[in-house]
């Protein structure tokens, strides 16, 4: 294995527990369209961009809507989601995150975020962890969203590391696929549904032993 020089983290579901807020907001949207939507269907949306998520919900219900309704559903989903995370703070970081960021920094590992979310910077600021990251690639900065590897390839390029020298931490099937397609080590975390797709898997980041890998 090449020496590990960098870590790229997904945001929602890896650093912070906002994945549940996305679920509740999408469920409300799906129900408003008369489409059944449970945790099972939500798995298909994890890591997926806002636009592609709504497309998937419509496909689930075999439903077609006009462009204006599509756009207004995106706006109302995001407003509801943002309202639900308005009190987000460092206490919402997932277990082991802060310790891992500190330990990685201490060892000189470069850190970045690779997220599909257009709200990533806002959330990282609320969590007070933005300063840990040398690069943040979010949903505003990619042409092809996950499962395409662009978000992580852009992150590695910005950090001047080869994908083989970089771990990607992900909780979503689309993100694991993106990491693998880009030639990264795909570290699955916090979602048993992706445990076999990931190269290595941990229930949460407290289980990740940095001294073994870096």
Report the catalytic residues: 10, 12
Among 6, 15, 37, 47, binds ligand BG6 (CB under 6 A): 47
Q: Which of the stretches 58-66, 117-125, 149-157, 161-169 binds ligand BG6 when contact is defined by CB under 6 A? A: 117-125
The pair of structure tokens assigned to 108 is 């000189």
Interaction site with Mg ion (CB under 5 A): 10, 12-13, 47, 171-172
In the complex, what is the shortest distance from the CB of residue 175 to ligand BG6, in angstroms, rounded to a whole number? 8
Q: Which of the stretches 29-37, 114-122, 126-134, 201-209 binds ligand BG6 when contact is defined by CB under 6 A? A: 114-122
Among 22, 127, 142, 166, binds ligand BG6 (CB under 6 A): 22
Among 49, 73, 96, 185, binds ligand BG6 (CB under 6 A): 49
137 sits in which H/E element: strand 135-137
Among 27, 115, 154, 191, binds ligand BG6 (CB under 6 A): 115
The pair of structure tokens assigned to 193 is 């549904």
User: Which three-class secondary structure state does DSSP give residue 55?
Assistant: helix
Among 43, 70, 99, 118, binds ligand BG6 (CB under 6 A): 118
Question: Alpha-carbon distance 150 to 147, whole Å?
Answer: 9
Cβ neighbour number for residue 138 with a 10 Å cutoff: 20
84 lies in the site for ligand BG6, by CB under 6 A = no
In the list ligand BG6, Mg ion, none, the entry touching 115 (Cβ below 5 to 8 angstroms by class) is ligand BG6
User: Which three-class secondary structure state does DSSP give residue 110?
Assistant: strand
- Is 185 buried (19+), middle (13-18) or exposed (0-12) by CB count in 10 A? buried
139 lies in the site for ligand BG6, by CB under 6 A = yes
| Residue (78 or 203) nearer to ligand BG6, CB | 78
In the complex, what is the shortest distance from the CB of residue 28 to Mg ion, in angstroms, rounded to a whole number? 20
Q: How many residues form the binding site for ligand BG6 (CB under 6 A)?
A: 19
146 neighbors 137 (Cβ within 8 angstroms): no
Question: Alpha-carbon distance 78 to 82, whole Å?
Answer: 6
| Residue (17 or 61) nearer to Mg ion, CB | 17
- Is 171 buried (19+), middle (13-18) or exposed (0-12) by CB count in 10 A? buried
Query: What pairs with residue 114 in β-bridges?
Result: 137
């Amino acid at each position: 294995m090449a020496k590990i020089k960098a870590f790229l983290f997904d945001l929602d579901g890896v650093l912070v527990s906002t994945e549940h807020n996305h679920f509740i907001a999408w469920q409300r949207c799906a129900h408003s369209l008369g489409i059944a939507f449970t945790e099972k269907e939500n798995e298909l949306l994890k890591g997926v961009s806002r636009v592609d998520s709504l497309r998937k919900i419509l496909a689930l219900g075999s439903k077609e809507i006009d462009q204006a309704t599509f756009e207004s559903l995106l706006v109302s989903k995001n407003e509801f989601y943002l309202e639900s995370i308005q009190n987000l703070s460092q206490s919402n970081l997932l277990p082991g995150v802060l310790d891992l960021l500190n330990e990685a920094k201490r060892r000189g590992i470069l850190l970045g975020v690779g997220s599909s979310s257009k709200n990533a910077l806002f959330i990282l600021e609320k969590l007070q962890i933005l300063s840990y990251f040398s690069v943040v690639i979010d949903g505003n900065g990619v042409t092809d969203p996950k499962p395409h590897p662009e978000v992580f390839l852009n992150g590695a390029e910005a950090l001047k590391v080869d994908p083989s020298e970089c771990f990607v931490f992900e909780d979503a099937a689309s993100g694991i696929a993106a990491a693998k397609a880009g030639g990264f080590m795909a570290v699955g975390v916090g979602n048993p549904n992706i445990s076999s797709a990931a190269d290595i898997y941990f229930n949460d980041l407290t289980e990740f032993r940095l001294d073994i890998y870096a």
